[in-house]
Amino acid sequence: MKLKVKDLDISTGGPLIAILNWKDSSELDLHYLDRIKIIKGKKIETVTIDIAQSKKMVSSGRIGLFEEVLQSLNLKDGDIIKIIPARKPTSIDYIKKKLDGFKLDKKEIEQIVWDIVNNKLSDIELTYFVAACYANELDLEETTILTNAMAKYGNTLKLKRYPIMDKHSVGGVAGNRTTMIIVPIIAAAGLTIPKTSSRSITSPAGTADTVEVLTNVNISINKMKRIVEKTNGCLVWGGGLDLAPADDKIIKVEKPLAIDAKSQLLASVMAKKASVSATHLLVDIPSGKGSKISSKEKARKLKGDFISLGKELRIKVRVIITDGKEPIGNGIGPALEARDVLWILGNDKRGPKDLRMKALKMAGLMLEMGGKAGKGNGFKLALDILKSGKAYKKIVEIIKAQGGREVDPDGIELAPVTYDYSAYKDGVIKEISNRAISKTARVAGAPQDKGAGIYLRKHVGDKVKKGEALFTIYAPNKDKLDYVKDVIKAVDGVVIR
């Protein structure tokens, strides 16, 4: 069947979609989510169809195309194309196999990942794959194959250096901006650490959001390589590098139901590390009430899984289980977190002690892993690098290499409207909910408004008096602040006893 192209001027953000009028789809016996091949000259693309029930969207004789299809075939409005029915990707059979509880082999897993990367699966089909791995967890062999496939079908950073250091936090704790402190310490010690980080999905700030307050994070992989070769490190957004792109697509469909299959979590982390050629990895698993990993038992199991997968991938992995029961640091939100980091790196007394100590401990372990310090001596070396100003000098070097300039932490712009949330009685703080603090900071505007968020003035264990400020909220305007006040009453994030 020949049809005239209609440019819908809509992007899916990935999947290849076309819309047919119901009369044309009936003639070819095509149904919702069936596939067709679109042929234009020598170019052919397989796409998923949706069906328009009225001619207002797409009339008979026309085919509505989303931007991804137009770009793939270099089509424009009014072009004439040919369509024929196409079979569904073979990976759908493999997804059904996993749903039935059977083990997948290398060929099957690699085909699924290839189809994900090349937008051959609809979001619904991809969701079924995520659900299959959630209900029937991948074993170590399957997880290793999935990790390697995710790294294979994407860009890879290749460096002629050894060792190549990396770190990762499983997340779930508000603040916890250790990466921005660790990277300059490790780089200043002469080790290589090409750090890629994510933007926020459900938190008030991802590391990339916070770094972006200080410098550009959207760097090409070639420029990233030049920066690392010059400075030993970088702090860039992984989403702009096409590293393990299947991971980003999987995360997208996991989000609505908060599905987090363990095997996919492991593959997600390790594929990104393999993509930057990491040889040594430190993994931080925060554990405690309100964090992603709620119990020490689950944390210990996940620790063993990371170490086992690391052995299969020939990456030396060390895992630490840390206290995740409350936010780490004082600033929650991109600008407030960036200010905390610069205060710590600049040896300013206003730098939060808990964040400083955790970052130093982690940096110390990495210095030992990388052979720069003997066992038990890493912390002292990390502290010496921090106190000497070498870490601050290195962060400035990295910021400038990525297109930024040296920033005075006191000059970082914060949201203009503030409100102090005060203690409702005398006592001792017994709990500060990560989820409640994160929710409040996001409602205040973070991370979209980089200056919005929360600044904690008290932590768990601190004595407080009624009316004393527990934290300060920063919001862009009064209307937003009024809404935040209503949210605080609902989430009730601080417990005083």
Mean pLDDT computed over 122-128: 90
Split into its structural domains, the chain has a count of 4
Residue 373: phi and psi, rounded to 5, are -145, 145
Whether 262 and 368 share a structural domain: yes
| Active-site choice (79, 123, 242, 260) | 260
CB 334 within 8 A of CB 447: yes
Mean pLDDT along residues 312-322: 97
Q: What's the pLDDT at 113?
A: 97
- Are 334 and 203 spatial neighbours (Cβ–Cβ below 8 Å)? no
CATH number of residue 439's parent domain:
3.90.1170.30
Answer yes or no: is 142 within a domain. no
State the DSSP string of 33-48.
T-EEEEEETTEEEEEE
70 and 95 inside one domain:
no
- For all residues of the chain together, what is the average pLDDT? 94
Residue reference for tokens 């195309």: 65
Secondary element (H or E) of residue 148: helix 140-152
Residues 361 and 448 in one domain: no
What does the block give as tokens for 252? 């997208």
198-242 confidence digits (pLDDT tens): 988 789 999 999 999 999 999 999 999 999 999 999 999 998 898
What mean pLDDT comes out for the span 80-88? 94
- The confidence score (pLDDT) of residue 352 equals 98
Residue 150 lies in a domain: no
Nearest CA to 149 out of 114, 196, 119 is that of: 114
Q: What is the pLDDT of residue 240?
A: 84
The CATH number of whichever domain residue 54 belongs to comes to 2.40.40.20
Q: Do residue 231 and residue 339 come from a single domain?
A: yes
* Enclosing domain of residue 224: 165-409
In a domain, residue 179? The reply is yes
**Domain containing residue 118: CATH number:** 1.20.970.10
**Of 290 and 199, more confident:** 199
Question: Is residue 260 flagged as an active site residue?
Answer: yes
Question: Which of 50, 66, 86 is the last residue before a domain boundary?
Answer: 86
Question: What does the alpha-carbon distance between residue 105 and residue 112 come to, in Å, rounded to a whole number?
Answer: 11
pLDDT in tens, 144-172: 999 999 999 999 999 999 999 999 999 88
Assess whether 320 and 286 both reside in one domain.
Answer: yes
Instruction: Inform me whether the pLDDT recorded for 65 exceeds 90.
Output: yes
Is residue 157 included in any domain, yes or no?
A: no
Instruction: For residue 160, tell me if it sits in a domain.
Output: no
Spatial contact of 104 and 142, defined as CB atoms under 8 Å apart: yes
Task: Mark whether 392 and 441 lie in a shared domain.
Answer: no
